[in-house]
Every structure is written in C-alpha cells, then in structure tokens.
Structure 1
C-alpha cells in the first residue's frame, strides 16, 4: 500500500487508502495489478493482509504482508505465509520471493519458518521459497 500522510494507526485517510489499494487488487494475478490479496483474520477481526503479485519472471510471485501490532508474535504471520505458499502453488507458481530489511526480525523469522533461502544484498534481505519442493506444514 502506498504511504499515507496521516498519524499512526487507522486514520480515516489510511482506511480509505487501504480500501482503494484492496479494490485495485480485485483482478487477481491476471488482472491489471497482477495481485491477489488475502485478509488475515483472528478472533473475527481483520488483523492484517498478505498478498502475492505476479513477477515478470514466469511462475514467480512476490509476497508482502503486514500485521497489526496486537497480532504480532502469535504465529499468524507464518500461518498466513504458509497458506499463501499453498495458494501460489495451486495457481501454478514455482517460486515466491520477498524482500525486507535485515533488522525486521519478525519478517525474517516468518520467512525462515517457511523455508526461505535468504541472502543479503545492498542492505536488503531477499528471500526465495521454491514451491517445487515440499511446502511447509508447521
């Protein structure tokens, strides 16, 4: 989602920007944004989002995720990414890539739990998960 000039938290501007971002992604992997998004729900509430976007490299999607602060540290990120890996495989993809910063310990932990190969490059941490091998189940 593009940055929003608003205070931290769910401001009216941030909610509207998220809605627009989400609506623009309704076309799925073959639509104009080449993106499929999923809500992360816990306790009946939406606590985050995970997405996959088709890359130019055939059979590859890039993933990104956010979780509300109150939902972090509960295993939801790894569970959501595992579900996304299964959805990507079902869509015929063979790999999922991601990018984060080396100091984003939550993201690094989730990526490792899901079997990502990690490499640092130019201050970024790049991850790749091959779907040709067994998908993570735990």
Structure 2
C-alpha cells in the first residue's frame, strides 16, 4: 500500500455532491460494486444511473428517518474518490453499520483506511458505541483496511463471511 498523498475527508451526499459521485462511479467502478442490482443489460445504463440517484436521494434524511442511513462521498484533496455509508441496524441499536466503495484508481493508496477511520469518528459523534462491517474472506483489501483500523474480525467460513466490529470508545461524541 502506498500512503495517501492528500487529505481524505467525508462530505455528506446531497444534490450538490451526487452528480460528482455518479461521475466517479460511472468512470471508475462497476455498477455491482457501488449499488444494489438493477435488472437489464450490463454496464452503466440510463436505468442504473437513475437508480443510483434515487438510491442516494432516499438517504438524504440521514439516520433519523427511514431507511436510517447516511451516505458520504469520500474525498481526497477535495476530489471525490468513492463513498462510505452508515446505517442503523434494527438488531443492534447501539451500533451503526458501514460499507464503502472506492473507484479503481483510488484503491491501494490508504484512502479506504482513512475513510473508515473518519466514518468511525462520524459514528461516534452520532452516539454509536460500535461500527459493524462485513466482507468476504477473499476480499484481502477490505480485510487489510479493517485490521488497520482496529476491527475485531470473526470469520464464518461456512457462510463465506467475515464480520467486523470497531469500537468508538475514546472518540469524541456530541
């Protein structure tokens, strides 16, 4: 991994940010890496672009209203590189769940680690005690990010899943 050369930050996705995030997704990621599946031919069809916008607009209310999720654009020196989210899981009210995607050109440079650290800070400010994540045993890049950010990992080989838990203790809370 190469160190991040710029400053990584999070910017809440709104209409001012959404088109830039879509541009990164279309130009530097596959649809199945960044959004729920949409039927139809492969690639970034107009239907998928519209679904991407609708998906993110549904999250504008944030953690206080359904779907109890907030999305942030991950930026490096002010340039959008991907997104990270926080979602309130019904089964763990003290926790928030996170997920991340980065454009191919932003991977392997420490941006993911910095973004997960920042979103754990955001979760702490939102009052969460824990941040949850999951991935697959074969996703070496995400496993590395989770390890570097201090996650406790539990592998369920039968399910083909790795669950991660990051404590927010010691972080500032509002």
Partner of 1:50: 84
Deviations 1:40-82 (A, max 9, x none): 1235442211001001212101101111111101111111111
Partner of 2:169: 132
CA contact under 8 A between 2:94 and 2:129: conserved in structure 1?
A: yes
User: Which consecutive residues of structure 2, in runs of 5 or more, have no partner in the other structure?
Assistant: 1-34
The alignment status of 1:107 with 2:142, answered yes or no, reads yes
- Larger % of strand: which? 1
Correspondence 1:76-87 to 2 at 5 A? 76-87=111-122
Partner of 1:123: 160
Q: How has the CA–CA distance of structure 1 residues 106 and 20 changed in structure 2, closer, same or farther, with 3 Å as cutoff?
A: same
Partner of 1:38: 72
Regions of 4+ moved over 6 Å:
none
CA contact under 8 A between 1:6 and 1:13: conserved in structure 2?
A: no
User: Which consecutive residues of structure 1, in runs of 5 or more, have no partner in the other structure?
Assistant: none
Partner of 2:7: none
CA contact under 8 A between 1:6 and 1:14: conserved in structure 2?
A: no
Deviations 1:6-34 (A, max 9, x none): 434x4433322211111000111111110
The structure having more radius of gyration, on CA atoms, is 2
TM-score (norm 2): 0.71
Correspondence 1:21-36 to 2 at 5 A? 21-36=55-70
How many residues align structurally? 134
The alignment yields a C-alpha RMSD, in angstroms, of 1.8
TM-score (norm 1): 0.88
